[in-house]
Amino acid sequence: MASPAAAHQISPMVSSPTASRDGPRRRGEKRRMRGCSPSPPPQTTPFQDLCPSGACEDKGDGATTTDRKWHPDESHRPDIDDAPVFTPTEEEFKDPIGYITTIRPQAEKYGICRIVPPSSWRPPCSLKEKTFWECTEFNTRVQQVDKLQNREPTKKKPQPRAQKKRKRRKRLRFGMTHRRPSTNTSESSDCGDTEEKFGFQSGSDFTLEEFRTYADEFKQQYFGMKGSDEIPLSEIKKKKKIWQPSVDEIEGEYWRIVVCPTDEVEVDYGADLDTSMFSSGFSKLSSDSNKQDSYGLSCWNLNNLPRTPGSVLSFETEDISGVVVPWLYVGMCFSSFCWHVEDHFLYSMNYMHFGEPKVWYGVPGADAVKLEEAMRKNLPRLFEEQPDLLHELVTQLSPSVLKSEGVPVYRVVQNPGEFVLTLPRAYHSGFNCGFNCAEAVNVAPVDWLPHGQCAVELYREQRRKTSISHDKLLLTTANEAVRQLWMNLCDCKSSQGVYRWQDTCGKNGILTNAIKTRVKMEEAARRVNALLQYKKMGSDYDSTDRECFSCFYDLHFSAVSCQCSPNRFACLNHASLLCSCEMDTKFALIRYNIEELDTLVAALEGDPTAVYQWGQNDLGLVCPSGSGQYKKIDLGESTRFLESATDVNHGCSLGVNQERYHDDPAKPVRYQQENGTQIDSEVHNNNKMSVSFESPATASNPTRSNSDCSCPHSLNHSFELPSSRVQTGSQPYDVSKTTISKYSVELLDHGKMMVGKKWCNRQGIFPKGFRSRVTFHSVLDPTGTCYYISEVLDAGLLGPLFRVSVEGLPEVSFTHTSPMQCWDSVRDRVNEEIEKQQSVGKSGLPDLLSMNSVNGLEMFGFLSSPIIKEIEALDPGHQCLDYWSSRISSVGTELPSESVMATAVNDSTNPTIKLLGIEITRKEIEQSSSFNNSCAEGSHLVGC
């Protein structure tokens, strides 16, 4: 969840309930606006070149000043567009999950949006009650606003804590600011707070009443506003509005402080306050409370929202602070929340209870990698010292800088009584314009599932602990969906009159595809670990949350253990690292075998036999007596449910063969489904739904929903899970096979071969500087064609980036971390233009391009035999192991399918084994039998 960050040279403070990272409280130290001997100016870094000439020059000798602090003539307000504002009707507002689903296609283009509730929805705020307002204290965290972007790495020998505290207290003089000195002195550098990690200095304790007074006093002094005791009685009687800075003026000053600081500015922020310990601004229902409290029952009440029907988090049994239990944020002018994404790429919902506006900035999830790249480029030394800097939520970078780097950034100004929604994988940041109070929590509509899968795979690579068990939520959601399918088949009435998960099923349903993806990954990992003994998990297995000792991956589906260390577990990827015992002495605990998981997939696809089998064997369901509806279905007859008209492009297929579960001749007949038959119940009423997986919404609006999950390969690298729309055949594209191309690709430059994990995969080698040209429908006028230039660019640590641009119009370009996504974007843009021109009655337009009409590998030329030969000639030593090992497998020994494993063939002494995209060398396996995070050094996710 968001946690705002910092502001001026004063010190209001913030603290999280997680005291371990905030440090000890200093109760009673109500700190005030203060100055100190100014710190030396940081050395020039790339972002400082963006300052206007002279704007950041020294204007003083370092002497303490108490005059004007606001510099309106040096405003750095970013020139960016606003994100959309949605105003649901009374009817739409009844179902928050349904409403989020409705606005998602538009909102995800911005990463963030504002939701203004109907005027009738004005919940009371319990925080304003006098006993709470004046008596309950909260801790704050100190934020140094001028150092959020411009600061030096902090690798210094720490001073004794007592000495630092003495130096700090010398500067607690209220109302003083300092100009930065023109000389670099050791005395000035000692002034900085280095006693704790930057951004986590613990502040004072305040009540809401005290913090409001403190925040108002700070803002008045900073901007030269009149305090309540300075306003003449005559003006009060005339109700004359006293001047105060506008949101635009505050925004311009905030970014001046961050981008071109001339003063030291500190504020406090009451962030990440656990509402279960502090209090929620919304009413909470208890067993003896008034059940008629409409606001206590409302699903927009953030205490209820995460577990609202339709949210995957409704199946989370633990009260996870900050995820399903809201956090409270008490801010003051300039207190900030720095660039970050939500844990597990969840949605977040923020509601402002009262106070002055909060300014937000959002970046679409599809551009997350671009933002990370821009941050590293402009703040190189901070990231060199701390590669996971973005996890800390303590670093800003101006939207103007991001915009100049090609990152789309959008603004939202949130007022009291309004919601702000952030979407999966969307980076966001912002600051407060004055004293205010907001509350935030996470939520997970079903379309979050593929993003969540991306997140846990990324966390596995980063060896980062998870907050929730993604597999458990996925499996529980699937079970509930099968339960509803069972009820539908058995003509049972739903307790809510709605089969909410019905539309997520079907062959092309989001939930079905999420399960397929996970089952395929699990099957591949088990195949690699064929020597293990497999046992079913016992009843005591779930008594404790299990995680891999090496990468902290959640072990809900399967776990590896050994008799030598019964309380130590590993995921299937790191089974070899668990201990020094032979593999055949270890064993794997599994929740379901692959055949059972195949049954679950078939059930979600709509096979009635599979629904019956899973419901009876795994859910313990029994058809109610007297219900003969299910018995009327001929279970021996092959049937097929209608697929949704919407191509749910959920993006994280991880190389899953989407055809694997349909029409597979290797499966029993009862699981084969043929075209042309739809099962409809004989009885139709309000409580009985037809077993058809086409939702009313998608039936009337057959458009594709874009939620591609572009998942970065840690924060250092680019990792993208292949989209399910790329591969629809039974096998991935194999460049070793003869390919008949519909398009003639002209090679312009074969480029230069690069050695590295991301510069090749099983499908091809991607030389740096590669350029090709091909003719395709024009994105400007689909009635004609134009030339497109396809290129492979060098993105440094991110590896290759792929770009497709219109020849002669380089500003019309599409850049992604895979060739497939580049050309998917071209196709989508062409379709958008076709629909746009159809709407105005233009004739001669082609039909909408189908999902399979274009393949990025083909359009780049990576499936063209002459181009393949040119590229292969760049690597005579066969250094691109993944590619060459796949070529060997195509002519001889069969290897597991894509994103499963590849065995290096050129180094018998230290072969490379890749499990689900994680590469581990044999040498590491031998050297890492005990828990040691250093084994991460040899791990890389495969860029697809």
382-420 in b/e burial notation, b at 16+ Cβ within 10 A? bbeebeebbeebbbbbbbbbbbeeebbbbbbbbebbbbb
What span, in angstroms and rounded, lies between the C-alpha atoms of 453 and 339? 22
| pLDDT (0 to 100) of residue 161 | 46
What span, in angstroms and rounded, lies between the C-alpha atoms of 669 and 458? 38
φ, ψ (nearest 5 deg) of residue 760? -160, 165
With CA atoms as reference, report the closest residue to 824 among 741, 943, 728: 728
Q: Read off the tokens for 59.
A: 């204007």
Owner of token pair 């590998």: 857
Q: CA neighbours within 13 Å on the CB side: how many for 661?
A: 28
What span, in angstroms and rounded, lies between the C-alpha atoms of 56 and 78? 17
DSSP-assigned beta bridge partners for residue 771:
749, 791
Spatial contact of 396 and 251, defined as CB atoms under 8 Å apart: no
CA angle 473, 476, 482 (to 5 degrees): 140
What span, in angstroms and rounded, lies between the C-alpha atoms of 881 and 871? 14
What span, in angstroms and rounded, lies between the C-alpha atoms of 346 and 360? 17
What span, in angstroms and rounded, lies between the C-alpha atoms of 567 and 785? 63
DSSP-assigned beta bridge partners for residue 340:
428
Q: DSSP string spanning 16-30?
A: -S-HHHH----TT--
Reduced 3-state DSSP string for 553-594: CECCCEEEEECCEEEEEECHHHHHHCCCCCHHHEEEEECCCH
Q: DSSP string spanning 46-83?
A: GGGGGSPTTTTS--S-S-EE-S----GGG------EEP
Helix, strand, or coil here: 355?
A: strand
Spatial contact of 362 and 111, defined as CB atoms under 8 Å apart: yes
Owner of token pair 């003051």: 332
Domains observed in the chain? 85-151+200-233+240-444 (2.60.120.650), 470-619 (no CATH), 745-887 (3.30.160.360)
Q: Read off the tokens for 602.
A: 């078939």
| pLDDT (0 to 100) of residue 228 | 59
pTM of this prediction? 0.62
Spatial contact of 345 and 351, defined as CB atoms under 8 Å apart: no
Spatial contact of 891 and 915, defined as CB atoms under 8 Å apart: no
Q: Where are the alpha helices (DSSP H) in 330-448?
A: 368-378, 380-385, 399-404
Report strand pairing: 410-414 vs 81-82.
parallel
Tens digit of each residue's pLDDT (9 = 90 or more) over 398-423:
999 999 999 999 999 999 999 999 99
| pLDDT (0 to 100) of residue 133 | 93
What span, in angstroms and rounded, lies between the C-alpha atoms of 708 and 450? 9
| pLDDT (0 to 100) of residue 3 | 41
φ, ψ (nearest 5 deg) of residue 385? -75, -35
Q: Read off the tokens for 46.
A: 């790339």
Amino acid at 683: V
The 10 Å Cβ neighbour count of residue 735 is 22
| pLDDT (0 to 100) of residue 235 | 65
Whole-angstrom Cα Rg for the chain: 29
Report strand pairing: 648-649 vs 705-706.
parallel
| pLDDT (0 to 100) of residue 502 | 72
Spatial contact of 179 and 61, defined as CB atoms under 8 Å apart: yes
| pLDDT (0 to 100) of residue 624 | 59
| pLDDT (0 to 100) of residue 408 | 97
Cβ-in-10-Å burial (0-12, 13-18, 19+) of 667 comes to: middle
What span, in angstroms and rounded, lies between the C-alpha atoms of 794 and 759? 10
Q: What is the dihedral of CA 783, 785, 786, 791, to 10 degrees?
A: 120
| pLDDT (0 to 100) of residue 125 | 93
| pLDDT (0 to 100) of residue 230 | 61
Amino acid at 100: I
Report strand pairing: 85-86 vs 112-115.
parallel
| pLDDT (0 to 100) of residue 43 | 44
Q: What is the dihedral of CA 201, 205, 210, 213, to 10 degrees?
A: -10
Which parts of the chain sit beneath pLDDT 50?
2-50, 52-55, 57-68, 156-195, 287, 496-497, 626-740, 891-944
Q: Read off the tokens for 816.
A: 């992604």
